[in-house]
C-alpha cells in the first residue's frame, strides 16, 4: 500500500484565476439568458418572489461584469 501523500498537479495561480473567470462568465451569461426567458414568457409557477430573487441576482452579475470590464 502506498503511504505517501498524493501529489496533485496544481495549476499556477494565474491559470486558476483565468479558469474561474471563464467559468463565471459562462454561468453569468447562462443565468442572464434564462432571466430574459423567464421575464418574457412568465410561466405560471414564476412567482413575484422568484422574480425578485432573479432581479437581485441579475443586479449582482451586472455589477460584477462592469467592475471586471473597468
CB 65 within 8 A of CB 28: yes
Q: Residue 49 — φ and ψ, nearest 5°? A: -65, -45
What pLDDT is recorded for position 3? 63
The pTM of the full predicted model, rounded to 2 decimals, is 0.72
C-alpha cell at 68: 471586471
Q: Report the C-alpha gap between 55 and 9 in whole angstroms.
A: 40
Ranges of each domain in the chain: 14-69
Model confidence pLDDT, tens digit, residues 5-62:
655 667 788 898 899 889 989 999 999 999 999 999 999 999 999 999 999 999 999 9
Nearest to 25 by CA among 52, 58, 1, 61: 61
What pLDDT is recorded for position 69? 78
Amino acid at each position: 500500500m502506498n503511504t505517501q501523500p498524493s501529489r496533485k498537479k496544481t495549476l499556477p495561480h494565474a491559470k486558476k484565476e483565468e479558469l474561474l473567470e471563464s467559468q463565471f462568465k459562462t454561468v453569468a451569461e447562462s443565468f442572464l439568458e434564462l432571466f430574459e426567458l423567464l421575464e418574457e414568457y412568465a410561466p405560471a409557477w414564476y412567482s413575484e418572489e422568484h422574480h425578485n430573487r432573479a432581479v437581485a441576482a441579475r443586479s449582482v452579475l451586472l455589477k460584477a461584469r462592469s467592475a471586471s470590464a473597468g
